[in-house]
Structure 1
Amino acid sequence: MLLRYFFAFFSLLLITSCGFHPVYSDNNLGKQLSGIKVGSISYESKIPTRESIALTSALEQEFNWSYTDSTKNYTLDLSYVISIEGVAIQSNALATRNNLRVTLNYALTDNNSGKVIERNTLIGVESFDIQSSPYSNYVSKEETAVKVMKSLATELKLRLIGLVGNNIKL
């Protein structure tokens, strides 16, 4: 019993001494992330699609651009490609389920020096069932794409928070 209390106490000491900070603690990450301006979002069709609007909306929600007084020191340029492939193939070569894959390329550029700080690729995959109705297939594909865009915006935010955590002042 005494050993259990010692182990619990020792574990707490390790966590507090390693620099662990809760994610939802009071910090200025939101203000630092508001210093990022979304530049161009390029995709295969030149007119805004539901997916591009969903990505822009999700980025606005994730980055919380309510800090209007902050200067935009960094520009985030994005491009994405959507592909669909059949994954559940029947013996008569008909697909009953599709994977929707979004490949999102991003580059974070310092506006003062013009230097690219981070360039990387995120991939989001989600699947949806194929129905006999073309309309239900269209709606399923669109909703799946919106879902993937929201998850990619969250993942992008977490990666940029990692940059902030590595002492890059945004």
Structure 2
Amino acid sequence: MSSFDPTRRRLLGGLGAILALTGCGFAPVYSDGRAATSLLGNVAVDSLPGREGFILRERLRERLGGVPIGQPRYRISTTYSVSSAGLNISQSASITRFNLTGVAEFSFRDAVTGDVIFTESVQAVSAYSTTGSAFAAEVAERDAQERLALTIADRIASRVALAAEALPQ
């Protein structure tokens, strides 16, 4: 029988992970003194069509510090598309599982001059099942579309925050 209990082992493992991260120079991207903090509340996000576009835009606003007060310093323009592919075909020849693939191409611009600072593309996949009723399948599809839009927005916000180090101050 071991005298080293699992709770203590997890605590020491977590402490070790924290020490390892601080030793490698890890710091939160939005901590004081980091370039990404200058983005908070300074990025306007252009409108996108449709329900998923609204979800994507609102998540981007949330991640980038909300709606700018006054003249924003930067602007994000995004195009967003979703494609669907059937994955699982049942014995009755009906498709019971779908993958949604979302692709967003975005441009990060200087809001005053309109100059493009950088352009990138992000992609994500979300899946849903249609084995239940027609209503359940529709709800599952809408949920997958929402998860996809949120994931895409999070990836865009992460790319922008990482690129903030290279932005002119």
Instruction: Provide the TM-score with structure 2 as the length reference.
Output: 0.74
How far residue 130 of structure 1 moved from its aligned partner, in angstroms, is: 1.0
Residues of 1 paired with 2:127 and 2:137: CA distance? 12
Alignment of structure 1 residues 130-169 onto 2, 5 Å: 130-165=130-165, 167-169=166-168
* Contact 1:106-1:119 at 8 Å conserved across structures: yes
Matching residue of 2:53: 52
Residues of 2 paired with 1:85 and 1:52: CA distance? 20
Residues of 2 paired with 1:129 and 1:150: CA distance? 19
Matching residue of 2:93: 93
Q: One-letter code of the match for 1:155?
A: R
Note the alpha carbon deviations across 1:119-150, whole angstroms, 9 max, x for none. Answer: 11111101110124222111111111111111
Note the alpha carbon deviations across 1:89-115, whole angstroms, 9 max, x for none. Answer: 235532211001111111112233332
SS at 1:123 equivalent = strand
Residues of 2 paired with 1:24 and 1:113: CA distance? 26
Relative distance call for 1:24 and 1:111 in structure 2 (3 A) is: closer
Residues of 2 paired with 1:24 and 1:118: CA distance? 20
Alignment of structure 1 residues 54-69 onto 2, 5 Å: 54-65=55-66, 68=69
SS at 1:57 equivalent = helix
Note the alpha carbon deviations across 1:36-86, whole angstroms, 9 max, x for none. Answer: 111242xxxxxx5321221122112211226625x3122111111111110
What is the root-mean-square deviation in Å for CA atoms of aligned residues? 2.7
Residues of 2 paired with 1:142 and 1:54: CA distance? 12
Structure 1 runs (4+) deviating above 4 angstroms are 12-16
Residues of 1 paired with 2:146 and 2:155: CA distance? 14
Residues of 1 paired with 2:68 and 2:53: CA distance? 23
Alignment of structure 1 residues 51-130 onto 2, 5 Å: 51-65=52-66, 68=69, 71-130=71-130
